[in-house]
Structure 1
Amino acid sequence: MEHADKILKEKEALQRKINILETRLSETNAQHKLSSEGNVSDSPLLLEFDVLKEDNILLKEDIEFFKTKLIEIAETEEGIFKLEKERALLDASLRELESRFIAAQANMMKLGPRDAWWEKVEKLEDLLETTANQVEHAAVILDHNHDLQDRLDNLEASLQAANISKFSCSLVDLLQQKVKLVEDRFQACNSEMHSQIELYEHSIVEFHDTLSKLIEESEKRSLENFTGNMPSELWSKISLLIDGWLLEKKIAYNDASMLREMVRKRDSRLREAYLSYRGTENRDVMDSFLKMALPGTSSGLHIAHIAAEMAPVAKVGGLADVISGLGKALQKKGHLVEIILPKYDCMQVDQVSNLKVLDVLVQSYFEGNMFNNKIWTGTVEGLPVYFIEPQHPAMFFSRAQYYGEHDDFKRFAYFSRAALELLYQSGKKVDIIHCHDWQTAFVAPLYWDVYANLGFNSARICFTCHNFEYQGTAPARDLAWCGLDVEHLDRPDRMRDNSHGRINAVKGAIVYSNIVTTVSPTYALEVRSEGGRGLQDTLKVHSRKFLGILNGIDTDTWNPSTDRYLKVQYNAKDLQGKAANKAALREQLNLASAYPSQPLVGCITRLVAQKGVHLIRHAIYKTAELGGQFVLLGSSPVPEIQREFEGIADHFQNNNNIRLILKYDDALSHCIYAASDMFIVPSIFEPCGLTQMIAMRYGSVPIVRKTGGLNDSVFDFDDETIPMEVRNGFTFVKADEQGLSS
């Protein structure tokens, strides 16, 4: 702009010269007029006048020409200013892209499993799209630069063609310097833009190369580390697929055994073949699998659980949680685990993945006849599950409830026989058959008295009694329904009940199983005396194969740091989330919330005599008296107890510190564990108990009676005989109100 000012000054000087010349011209005209009047010769003056007139015309034309050029130069200056501003913005954008690109590369180096980094890949793709847009914008600017360059070239040519001889050399030099300066600045801008574009093109190529390598390495790691991701629903699907082929007689037993071993070892070849043929005919998958079936040695066990419950698909009590939790834990250890359940009409079908019926019927013996059974397969909590649907006129499992039917003994005797028939007809060489509670206690005598004689004898039987309160007794003749020899088994040392003159299913399992367990060491001691409910003498006889193993909880399902039901997730290192969950539960149940520190007592239980319902009732009234809050979740199968607690709920209907929810709600149970400050389990007897363990997992202090598994898992804070680091709750001994209040 300084150069333009100088040019304007030159223009003003020229204007002054023009004014002088015009003055001289006027004087000459006057002299010419006088000469004409005085007859004086004016030829020289006329000549000079003509010359001056021509010079004046030329000067006016030159002035107009340079006025036009000055306007063009001013426009060029303005264009240069805008271009410099645009370039500054582009430089800032480029620097931001560089920092984002570096951050993206750093994030790419931290990428883990494929599920975690695909979102980052999408963000990087957005970054690439933005970069491409910036490059296109830069190209537009370059085109604009070229247009400006052409205009400058034209300007320079015009200046050279102009008649600049009428001006001073200094003015011409200034114009040439101006043109040269503008040209140099455009060249510098073009060079810098080309350099930035080349740098980003190189960076984009390098980014794509790095991304491709990361994807390749991640896929490789996924294949190598796939075993560590158990329990895996994928392997359960493959296992069910193989068993379906065998039952449908599409593959030979030896091939099925080899494929099962490959599944147990998590052979990546099976996984790759299954995924590559997914969506195609099963025949293609089967052919691919059979090509890989080679003999191998087994380092794990094949374990089949036969049970009446499994969480969350068919849950009544703690047995269901144990089946799921134990199955997943064994699967993580590298064992091949399968579950066999009845197909209840009332089960939670939505909790089963890929539920389908096999194209085969398994026949089983009952009441002197052979009955067909539909076999359904699916996965629950990543475990392969077989559901047996009897085609019996009694419709054994097409009921509105799991237990409590008049023909329960008959229903589960049928199921036990059908479950063994399924294992036998599938040709499986199971290592352990693990049956649970009286409902599947028939398995042990059936296995050794019937199926071992048929050559199905590779397995050993483990029986776990989760509660000796329920033993499954019936008249001896009823054993014949499932094909057992009544005369052979109705003996004091076999299945005859010790006190009622009937047969006892749990006693038969104790006698016929290879190992018998219960769910805690203390309970194992208790049932050797009066806690055995009449089986203490049988347990003493078989004491060498009887032991108590403390149950555990499923730490995947019960994990406050990942629990999807919680308002705020938290962990042992940061318990602030408990306050937020406490506030959320109070709002959900319309409890008083004026005092955040007001203690909240939780209780989640079945309302039966075993659970100490009179102590629960006392705890509710005592908590209200002391100004605390109490939340009870649970129901009773006993009508009298259910009505009693409905009356308590009505009594506290308008009390905003007490809430009784007389049903089971899984989602709400998670919220109560997270919100409660204390958790009460006042059981009269408790084989193990899981609620106190879950409460501790969620940071709630357990208050329990010293019995069974409660004694093995909760250690009183005031007991100086116990190391301080082990103390984790409060216990009491007397099963009365005074004991609880102490």
Structure 2
Amino acid sequence: MAEHKISERDEVSNVLKVLFAASEAAPFIKTGGLGDVIGSLPKALKRENVDVRVVMPKYQEISPGIQEKMQWQESIYVPVGWRNQFCGLEYMVYEGIPFYFLDNKYYYNRPGYYGYPDDGERYAFFSRAVLEMLPFFDFQPDVIHCHDWQTGMVPALHKIAYQQKPYYQNMKTMFTIHNLRYQGVFPPEVLRELFNLGHEHLTREGLEFHGNMSYMKGGINYADLITTVSPTYAQEIQTPYYGEQLDGLLRSHNQKLRGVLNGLDYEEYNPETDPLIPQTYSAANPEKKMANKKWLQEHLGLPVKQVPLIAMITRLVPQKGLDLVQHVLDEIMEMDVQLVIIGTGDHQYEQMLQHAAHRHPDKCSVQLKFDNHLARQVYAASDLFLMPSQFEPCGLGQLIALRYGSLPVVRETGGLKDTVFHHRHPSGKGNGFTFANYNAHEMLGVIQEAVTLYLSDPPGWQQLVKHAMTCDYSWDQSANTYKELYEVMTLKNRSPLL
């Protein structure tokens, strides 16, 4: 076998071994927050002395430069129903984290990642391959940590078909819900055709979901522990409004459900060292942030003036509160502000924003694209960051905004409620502006409050910016919580967490 392998006999028995199974990971592939988590949480766990590794599909769109660095390890065949499908096992170390890539040209040598008619088969193959690959490596995980519906069948397969085998019997599975709305629901025939499982598993306690089968339910019902990406979201998804028709099931599993707040990679997002912004700065000298604002105004053709610059960097979809913005956009434009929006999404929102930019060229700039360089420059330049989400499992934008001293204006939901506190919050945690109800005029009132504070109390504003920039939402605390959960699951630590 390859030289990188470490013999189990040489490993310290009390070192936790954790395998992350996910459909994406930055920097290889990223479509949203899931990719960011899988790219950054393992590094924080490694600092906690966890031997953590990641397995993901080898997509066509992983850059050729990275693919050239992958080392072939083994070729195996993976059962997908009555078929045996080829799976190449490839490996590389990235920033100290071992990554395994599962190669199958039929399933993954195509543009994009999701949205294909055969997604059920593609991720059935991936889920089975995660379990089938393990005996070929000298890495026997204590915990397989699965992420979102694409890996929901790993806990199900483990519990139904693998746990009785000696190699797998001591492994535990954790399932993290990043967004409950996306559930991987497929026709019931998939159960036999792709997994070779009988209809006795199509039950409420198994995989059945309104006459179909649900990969998400595979994770919820069969994992040893369920987590989601913020404490508030863990509570919200147990209610009908947020529960996506799974709230009753989640309430029944309340004892094994935990909310662990996502963190931010503070090495990647650091205004003191960020090479993508014109002027670096810190909480100690936030006045240098003004140079970034001047640069952005000139770059986007906005007048260079000291008015509050409001930013949105978002997908233009209903979940992100665009209907609230649409209802009061004219009132926002009547205020002494500038508005910069970056994103793509639904045509109606793109058109609405383009019309606003055309009507108010001196106050509104809309960039219908996603440009990471420009996004970072907008975080560094803006005074306020608007994120009025209908629901938000955790949210990354508000964490970046806080790090860069752009005060968030958010609705109190999910991870937004757990990380942003109104500037008059009695606890003294105030680091932004919040509103409770999904109401356009309530949002408008909070924006007006923020603008008034900016214009009437510059010293108070600067103090609030400094406080926001010193909030610690790095991965360290969350990584420690995950480590404790792993320890309890594997009985390596009898803490009272469960």
TM-score, normalised with respect to structure 2: 0.84
1:348-427 to 2 correspondences below 5 Å: 348-350=63-65, 352=66, 355-358=69-72, 360-391=74-105, 395-427=106-138
Deviation (angstroms), 1:441: 0.4
Q: Distance in 2 between matches of 1:335 and 1:571?
A: 31
Contact 1:324 1:381 in 2 (8 A): no
Task: Decide whether aligned partners of structure 1 residues 425 and 601 sit closer, same or farther in structure 2, where only a CA change above 3 A counts.
Answer: same
Asked whether the 8 Å contact 1:313–1:349 carries over to 2, the reply is no
By how many angstroms is 1:563 displaced?
1.1
Identify the residue that residue 738 of structure 1 maps to in structure 2: 441
Aligned to 2:176: 464
| 8 Å contact kept, 2:309–2:339 | yes
The answer to whether the 8 Å contact 1:314/1:348 transfers is no
The CA distance in 1 between the partners of 2:310 and 2:430, in whole Å, is: 20
Query: 1:284-316 CA distances to partner (integer Å, 9 max, x unpaired)?
Result: xxxxxxxxxxxxx33321111000121222111
- 1:444-455, aligned counterparts within 5 Å? 444-455=155-166
**Partner residue of 2:30?**
315
Does the aligned pair in 2 maintain the 1:353–1:378 contact within 8 Å? no
Give a deviation string over 1:528-574, Cα, whole Å, max 9, x none. 11111111221122111111111111111111111111111111111
Equivalent in the alignment of 1:501 = 211
Structure 1, unpaired ranges of 5+: 1-238, 244-254, 262-296
Higher helix share: 1
- Relative distance call for 1:542 and 1:356 in structure 2 (3 A) is same
SS at match of 1:576: helix
Q: Which amino acid aligns with 1:477?
A: E
State the SS of the aligned residue for 2:408.
strand
| Aligned 1:150-549 pairs, distance under 5 A | 241-243=3-5, 256-258=7-9, 261=11, 297-350=12-65, 352=66, 355-358=69-72, 360-391=74-105, 395-457=106-168, 458-497=170-209, 500-530=210-240, 531-549=242-260
Partner of 2:280: 569
Alpha-carbon distance in structure 2 between the residues aligned to 1:662 and 1:463: 35
Once residues 694 and 339 of structure 1 are traced to their aligned partners in structure 2, the CA distance between those partners, rounded to angstroms, is: 25
Quick one: distance in 2 between partners of 1:536 and 1:402?
A: 28
Q: How many residues align?
A: 442
Bigger fraction of residues in strand:
2
Give 1:423 shift.
1.6
Cα pair distance change 1:320/1:369, threshold 3 Å: same
Deviations 1:302-338 (A, max 9, x none): 1110001212221111111111221111011111111
Structure 2 residue 380 is the aligned partner of structure 1 residue 692? no
| Residues 622 and 385 of structure 1: CA distance in aligned 2, closer, same or farther (over 3 Å) | farther
The offset of 1:382, in angstroms, is: 3.8
C-alpha contact (below 8 Å) 1:688/1:708 kept by paired residues: yes
- Encode CA deviations 1:182-231: one digit per residue, 9 max, x unaligned: xxxxxxxxxxxxxxxxxxxxxxxxxxxxxxxxxxxxxxxxxxxxxxxxxx
What SS class does the counterpart of residue 124 from structure 2 fall into?
A: helix
Distance 1:590 1:383, change over 3 A: farther
Structure 2 equivalent of residue 125 of structure 1 = none
Which whole-Å CA distance do the structure 1 matches of 2:338 and 2:93 have between them? 40
Tell me what 1:645 maps to: 350
Deviation of 1:623 after TM superposition, in Å, equals 3.4
Do the aligned residues in 2 keep the contact of 1:620 with 1:630 (CA within 8 Å)? no
Are the aligned partners of 2:18 and 2:141 in contact in 1 as well (CA < 8 Å)?
A: yes
Taking a change above 3 Å as real, the CA distance of residues 656 and 312 of structure 1, as seen in their structure-2 partners, is: farther
Match runs of 1:51-62 below 5 Å? none
Distance in 2 (alpha carbons) for counterparts of 1:729 and 1:547 = 26
Farther off after superposition, 670-679 or 413-422: 413-422
Which structure has the larger Rg? Answer: 1
Give SS of 1:444's match.
helix
Q: Secondary structure at the match of 1:550?
A: coil
Structure 2 match to 1:591: 302
Tell me the distance in 2 between the aligned counterparts of 1:619 and 1:495: 43
What is the identity, as a one-letter code, of the residue corresponding to 2:227?
T
Write the letter of the residue equivalent to 2:244. R
Paired with 2:329 and 2:342, the residues of 1 have a C-alpha distance of: 12
Give the share of equivalent positions with the same residue, in percent.
36
Inter-partner Cα distance in structure 1 for 2:388 and 2:195: 43
Shift in alpha-carbon separation, 1:349–1:341, aligned structure 2, 3 A: farther
Higher RCO (CA-CA < 8 Å; seq separation 6+): 2
Structure 1's 585 and 432: CA in aligned 2 closer, same or farther, altered over 3 A? same
Q: Is the 8 A contact 1:705 1:735 kept in 2?
A: yes
Is residue 325–residue 440 contact of structure 2 (8 Å, CA) maintained in 1?
no
Q: 1:608: which partner in 2?
A: 317
Residue 479 of structure 1 aligns to a residue whose secondary structure is helix
Whole-angstrom distance in 2 between the partners of 1:662 and 1:348: 24
Residues 1:703 and 1:511: Cα distance change in structure 2 (over 3 Å): same
Q: Give, as a single letter, the amino acid of the residue that structure 2 aligns with 1:589.
A: L
Structure 2, unaligned runs of 5 or more = 446-498
Cα distance between partner residues in 2 of 1:607 and 1:410: 30
The change in CA–CA distance for 1:401 and 1:642 in structure 2 (over 3 A counts) is farther
**Deviation (angstroms), 1:438:** 0.4
User: Judging changes above 3 Å, is the alpha-carbon distance between structure 1 residues 709 and 240 closer, same or farther for their aligned structure 2 residues?
Assistant: farther
Is 1:660 aligned to 2:366, yes or no?
yes
How far has the Cα of 1:240 moved from its partner?
7.8
Displacement over 6 Å in runs of 4+: none
Q: Supply the distance in 2 between the matched residues of 1:563 and 1:381 (Cα, whole angstroms).
A: 18
**What SS does the corresponding residue of 2:350 show, helix, strand or coil?**
helix
Kindly provide the CA deviation profile for residues 19-76 of structure 1, in whole angstroms up to 9, marking residues without a partner as x.
xxxxxxxxxxxxxxxxxxxxxxxxxxxxxxxxxxxxxxxxxxxxxxxxxxxxxxxxxx
- In 2, the alpha carbon distance for the partners of 1:359 and 1:322 equals 26
* 8 A contact 1:446–1:484 mirrored in 2: no
- Distance in 1 (CA, whole Å) between partners of 2:284 and 2:14 is 38
> Could you say if the C-alpha distance between residues 461 and 569 of structure 1 is closer, same or farther in structure 2, counting changes exceeding 3 Å?
same
Q: C-alpha separation between the residues in 1 aligned to 2:355 and 2:89? A: 46
Equivalent in the alignment of 1:279: none
**Structure 1 SS opposite 2:423:** coil
Q: Structure 1's 355 and 713: CA in aligned 2 closer, same or farther, altered over 3 A?
A: same
8 Å Cα contact 2:311-2:382 kept in structure 1: yes
Query: Normalising by the residue count of structure 1, what TM-score does the alignment of the two structures yield?
Result: 0.57
SS at match of 1:556: coil
C-alpha separation between the residues in 2 aligned to 1:303 and 1:366? Answer: 25
- Return closer, same or farther for 1:486/1:661 CA change in 2, 3 Å cut-off: farther
**1:240/1:377 contact within 8 Å kept:** no
Query: Is this contact kept in 1: 2:180–2:244, CA < 8 A?
Result: yes
Name the CA distance, whole Å, in 2 between partners of 1:384 and 1:495: 32
Query: What is the identity, as a one-letter code, of the residue corresponding to 2:8?
Result: S
Give 1:490 deviation, angstroms. Answer: 0.8
Q: Which residue of 1 aligns with 2:423?
A: 717
Distance apart, 1:381 and its partner CA: 4.2
Tell me, in whole angstroms, the C-alpha distance in 1 between the residues paired with 2:299 and 2:135.
51
Q: Describe the superposition over 1:152-175 as per-residue Cα deviations: whole angstroms up to 9, x where unpaired.
A: xxxxxxxxxxxxxxxxxxxxxxxx
What RMSD in Å do the two structures reach over aligned CA positions? 2.1
